[in-house]
Structure 1
Amino acid sequence: MKIAIDAMGGDFAPFEIIKGVEIARDRYKDIEFQLYGTEGEVKPLIQNWERIELIPTTEVIAMGDEPVKAMRRKKDSSMVRAAMAVKAGRADALFSAGNTGALLSSAIFLVGRIKGVDRPALATALPSFGGKYDHFVFMDLGANADSKPVHLYQYGILGSFYASHVLKIDEPSVRLLNNGAEEDKGDEVHKTAHQLMKNSPSFNFLGNIEARDLLDGTADVVVADGFSGNAALKATEGTALMMLKQIKQSILAAGLRGKIGGALLKPAFKEVQKKLDYNEAGGAVILGTKAPVVKTHGSAKATAVANTMGQIKIMVDTQLIPDIQQYINAHTEELRAGNDALSEQTND
């Protein structure tokens, strides 16, 4: 198994990227790592060259670069060269902690879409605090601001495959993020998507879900349009981090009694903090491309990088992409027919 790595992407690249790769190399004996990056910066950081190859590049896509322009103009950038290696079959997967928009563009235009998937989506595993499993799949997180009902339907399929293959969830349940739990809530896109998903044999659809219930464990996959998904994700992350911060400040301000109580509760707080830590969960996945493409947090450290390599390994080992492609191929016409019929019904 070979993973093409954008060694220059991320706030702490290339140091933390290389450090994470070496942790992963020692942890996973069947992975070879292709590092794409500036030779003068990357080469001195590598302590052990076992199963590591450096492919020198001369350009870097910065976080502030315009995504599509950067992808097209900086052809010798670490990200583009890594994506081209996957496209050419020289690597099995692509990893970056860099510019999200540029990685999305590289995934769609260079690695390529699975035939039958209209719009690849960005998905991540979020913690679940009330369900049977520790995490659930949440998508789309911003790859597509506007979505049609058929796109949301496809996200249900993609998310279900990821949940079963990578998170090992049996018969994952799917819900649609909306502004109410009732079937008739939302705009026409979400109403139509609800009907399309409701009658689908492709996954186990349980109806709508509101943003306040995301972490309750009532769904294994939550589907959203990119705008709503991104907003809900950031609001959830921000609220969780602020609550932990406020609890800590309240304990410190409560005097000796509060500090003793805080010390007794410290293991519980640590467990919650670990569950919310993106370094533990791995990266966000661009689902719907011909090969695994994974983006970890821009400020990710070595632990997150190493864990994401394990996440990619599971995706390749479990044949996630071939299984999605096979399923889409078998159900494309059925999906189109159902969507067209429902759209005509709505228009009438």
Structure 2
Amino acid sequence: MTARTRPQHVAVLALDGAYPFELGIPSRIFEAVPGLYEVSTCSVDGQPVRSASDFTIGVEHGPELLETADTVVISSIATPAIPVELPEDVAAALERIPSRSRIVSICTGAFVLAAAGMLDERRATTHWQLTELFRRRFPHVELDPGVLFVEDGPVLTSAGAASGVDACLHVVRTDHGSAVANSVARCCVVPPFRDGGQAQYIERPLPERGSNGTAHARDWAVAHLHDRVDLSTLARVAGMSPRTFSRRFTAEVGVSPGKWLVGQRVARAQRLLESSDLPVDRVAEEVGFATGASLRQHFHAAMGVTPTAYRQTFHGSA
């Protein structure tokens, strides 16, 4: 864990029409390991908010809470509550957020940020069912409906419901490393990292009777990353032609086999960089990259830092 003089303050803004499940995600994830974060919830006026269910939610803080937040989470709201124009009290509350703060939205919370102009010219995502509505309203936002979450500068937007868990775990992973994020995930009995994006949840025709999926091949690949697995090998394990396997894999996971493999190797490299003293070139061998240069290239593309810089930040910190 990186050294901190105090826990990071996370402020959750509850809006009318909030989904109770998503509203509770930040406190459940961020407070799973004591001492790292303090989570508080506020409303735009300090009054209870109407939830998307048949009850109201009481909060103890008004919008002034946002002024001291290191991270602000805008929770999701039911579709009928999505504003065409941002209400004045919501706009005033958002203006209280310090420029230094990280901002996270869950699902339809992206509509609130976009209406406030906070997503202009940024990459963002929201629930796949609302893609067309979002694009019509906010053409200046670079919407990516195929991902579970996307981070652009200090703003992180996530897709539907449980993607808020993925986004919050990403924040923990960024702040404190994979070991801490994995510990939080185990505590909450959720996967520390979900493969693919929203594509795997979009409604599609059921596979033909008797057809086989790619899960077995994925499990096999994770156990054999050091063997430099490729598409032909995975297809052979699955008992399919490479073309059929690639098509079914992408339909199930939401990314191509090659992109998925790179992600798995980078994730394994993270763990080795955090927990071992192996040279970077040796880490590359262990995770299946042909050379240390290949690891450096893919790692930097995925994480924004070099393997060496990542190790300096997180090695032995958990």
Relative contact order, CA 8 A, sep 6+: which one is greater?
1
Q: TM-score, normalised by structure 1?
A: 0.29
Q: TM-score, normalised by structure 2?
A: 0.31
